[in-house]
Amino acid sequence: MNENKELLQNIDKLHTTELGIARIKKNLKILDADVVEFCKNRMKHTDCFIYKKGKNWYCEIDNIRITVNSYSNTIITAHLIK
C-alpha cells in the first residue's frame, strides 16, 4: 500500500493530547483554531508532502511540518520550517 494513502485512509482517527494542542498552537502561532482539524486539512491538500521515517509520519506543506505517531495516530507536534 502506498504509505501516503495509509495515513490519509486513517485521517479520521487522528487526535492529539491537551499538551499537543498547546504545543501546536504555540509553534504555529494560531489562537482559536481546532488544531486537529487544522492539521487534517493541511494533510488532505494535494500539495502536502507525506513521508514516513521510523515510527512517525511527517507531513510538509505551507512551511509547516506536522509529526504524527504512526502507531497511535496522535499528532505529536507541528512546526514552522524554513
Domain ranges of the chain: 3-80
Q: Which three cell numbers stand for residue 31?
A: 489562537
Give the span between the Cα atoms of 28 and 6, in whole angstroms.
Answer: 26
pLDDT at res. 2: 59
Determine the number of helices (DSSP H) and then strands (DSSP E) in the chain: 3, 4
pLDDT at res. 66: 98
pLDDT at res. 11: 94
Give the span between the Cα atoms of 77 and 25, in whole angstroms.
Answer: 9
DSSP assignment of 1-38 equals --HHHHHHHTGGG-B--HHHHHHHHHHHT-SSS-HHHH
* Residue numbers of the chain with a pLDDT score lower than 70: 1-3
pLDDT at res. 33: 84
pTM summary value: 0.91
pLDDT at res. 19: 96
